[in-house]
Chain A
Amino acid sequence: MVDQSIAGAGTMATASDGDRSGRARIVILLLCLGLAIAVMLSLTSGASDASAVSVVGDWLVGAAPGNAALSARDRLIVYDIRLPRVILGVLIGAALAVSGAVMQGLFRNPLADPGLIGVSAGSSLGAVAVIVLGATALAPMTSVLGTLALPLAAFCGGLATTLVLYQVATRHGQTSVATMLLAGIALAALAMALTGILIFMADDRQLRDLTFWQLGSLAGATWQKIGSVGPIIVLALAAMPFLARGLNALALGEATAGHLGIPVQRLKYTAIIGVSAAVGASVAVSGGIGFVGIVVPHLLRLAIGPDNRYLLPASALLGACLLLLADAVARTIVAPAELPIGIVTAIAGAPFFLWILLRKRGVVDL
Chain B
Amino acid sequence: MIEARDVSVAIGGKRIVANVDFDMRPGEIAAIVGPNGSGKTTLLRALSGDLAYSGEVTINGRDLSVMKPVEAATMRAVLPQATTLSFPFTVREIVRLGLLGGCSGALPGEAQRLPERALARVDLDGFAGRFYQELSGGEQQRVQLARVLCQVWAPVLDGKPRYLFLDEPVSSLDIKHQLIIMNIAREFATRGGGVVAILHDLNLTAMYADRILVMHRGRLAATGSPQDVLSDDLIERVFDCRLRVGMLPAGDMPFVLPQSAA
Interface residues of A (CB under 8 A from B): 1, 3, 6-7, 10-11, 13-14, 17-20, 108-110, 245, 248-249, 251-253, 255-256, 258-264, 301, 305-307, 363-364
By the criterion CB–CB under 8 Å, are B97 and A252 in contact?
yes
Residues of A within 8 A of B117 (CB): 1, 3, 7
With an 8 Å Cβ cutoff, the count of chain B residues facing the other chain is: 43
Question: Which among B100, B116, B121 has the highest number of chain A CB atoms within 10 Å?
Answer: B116
Also in contact, A7 and B113, with CB within 8 A (given A256-B80, A264-B69): yes
Which of B54-62, B71-79, B201-209, B217-225 sits within the interface? B71-79
Which of B126-134, B192-200, B227-235 sits within the interface? B126-134
Residue of B nearest to A311 (CB): B87
Residues of B within 8 A of A19 (CB): 90, 92-93, 128
Known A-B contacts: A17-B129, A249-B97. Give 17 more (CB < 8 A).
Answer: A3-B121, A6-B125, A7-B117, A10-B125, A10-B126, A11-B113, A17-B90, A18-B128, A19-B92, A245-B100, A251-B85, A252-B83, A253-B83, A259-B72, A260-B73, A261-B101, A307-B89
Which of B31-39, B43-51, B248-256 sits within the interface? B43-51
Residues of B within 8 A of A7 (CB): 113, 116-117, 120
Residues of A within 8 A of B119 (CB): 10
CA distance A87 to B64 in the complex (A): 49
By the criterion CB–CB under 8 Å, are A17 and B128 in contact?
yes
Also in contact, A263 and B70, with CB within 8 A (given A18-B90, A20-B90, A255-B80): yes
By the criterion CB–CB under 8 Å, are A256 and B129 in contact?
no
Residues of A within 8 A of B126 (CB): 10, 13-14, 17
CA distance A235 to B28 in the complex (A): 50
* 23 contacts across the A-B interface (CB closer than 8 A): A6-B120, A7-B117, A10-B116, A11-B113, A13-B126, A14-B129, A108-B86, A108-B87, A251-B89, A255-B80, A256-B83, A259-B48, A260-B69, A260-B98, A260-B100, A261-B69, A261-B72, A261-B74, A262-B69, A263-B69, A301-B87, A301-B88, A305-B89
Question: Which among A1, A262, A263 has the highest number of chain B CB atoms within 10 Å?
Answer: A262
Enumerate B12-55 residues with CB–CB distance to A below 8 Å: 45, 48-50
Enumerate B83-119 residues with CB–CB distance to A below 8 Å: 83, 85-94, 97-98, 100-101, 103, 113, 116-117, 119
Residue of A nearest to B119 (CB): A10
Question: Which among A7, A18, A20 has the highest number of chain B CB atoms within 10 Å?
Answer: A18
Residues of B within 8 A of A306 (CB): 87-89, 93
Residue of B nearest to A307 (CB): B93
CA distance A248 to B93 in the complex (A): 9
Residue of A nearest to B130 (CB): A18
Residue of A nearest to B92 (CB): A18
CA distance A307 to B133 in the complex (A): 15
CA distance A18 to B88 in the complex (A): 11
CA distance A252 to B147 in the complex (A): 11
CA distance A364 to B85 in the complex (A): 10
CA distance A131 to B86 in the complex (A): 40
Kindly provide the distance from the CB of B147 to the nearest chain A CB, expressed in whole angstroms: 8
Residues of A within 8 A of B74 (CB): 261
Residues of B within 8 A of A252 (CB): 83, 85, 94, 97
CA distance A364 to B87 in the complex (A): 10
By the criterion CB–CB under 8 Å, are A305 and B116 in contact?
no
CA distance A253 to B83 in the complex (A): 8
By the criterion CB–CB under 8 Å, are A255 and B50 in contact?
yes
Residue of B nearest to A260 (CB): B100
Kindly provide the distance from the CB of A21 to the nearest chain B CB, expressed in whole angstroms: 9
Kindly provide the distance from the CB of A16 to the nearest chain B CB, expressed in whole angstroms: 8
By the criterion CB–CB under 8 Å, are B78 and A259 in contact?
yes
Instruction: Verify if B151 is at the interface (C-beta below 8 Å from A).
Output: yes
Kindly provide the distance from the CB of B125 to the nearest chain A CB, expressed in whole angstroms: 5
CA distance A263 to B97 in the complex (A): 15
By the criterion CB–CB under 8 Å, are A253 and B80 in contact?
yes
By the criterion CB–CB under 8 Å, are A258 and B50 in contact?
yes
Also in contact, A11 and B100, with CB within 8 A (given A109-B86, A306-B89): no
CA distance A256 to B88 in the complex (A): 18
- Per a CB cutoff under 8 Å, which of B86, B97, B125, B129 touches A18? B129
By the criterion CB–CB under 8 Å, are A258 and B69 in contact?
yes
By the criterion CB–CB under 8 Å, are B91 and A18 in contact?
yes
Question: Which among A7, A19, A263 has the highest number of chain B CB atoms within 10 Å?
Answer: A7
CA distance A153 to B121 in the complex (A): 55
Residues of A within 8 A of B80 (CB): 253, 255-256
CA distance A248 to B121 in the complex (A): 24
Residues of A within 8 A of B76 (CB): 259
Residues of A within 8 A of B85 (CB): 251-252
Kindly provide the distance from the CB of B52 to the nearest chain A CB, expressed in whole angstroms: 13
Instruction: Verify if B176 is at the interface (C-beta below 8 Å from A).
Output: no
- Per a CB cutoff under 8 Å, which of A17, A255, A258 touches B92? A17
Kindly provide the distance from the CB of B86 to the nearest chain A CB, expressed in whole angstroms: 5
Kindly provide the distance from the CB of A342 to the nearest chain B CB, expressed in whole angstroms: 28
By the criterion CB–CB under 8 Å, are B90 and A11 in contact?
no
Residues of A within 8 A of B129 (CB): 14, 17-18
By the criterion CB–CB under 8 Å, are A3 and B120 in contact?
yes
By the criterion CB–CB under 8 Å, are A261 and B88 in contact?
no
Also in contact, A259 and B83, with CB within 8 A (given A10-B126, A14-B129, A18-B91): no
The 3 closest A-B pairs by CB, nearest first: A261-B73, A18-B92, A17-B129
Residues of A within 8 A of B100 (CB): 245, 248-249, 260-262
Residues of B within 8 A of A259 (CB): 48-49, 69, 72-73, 76-78
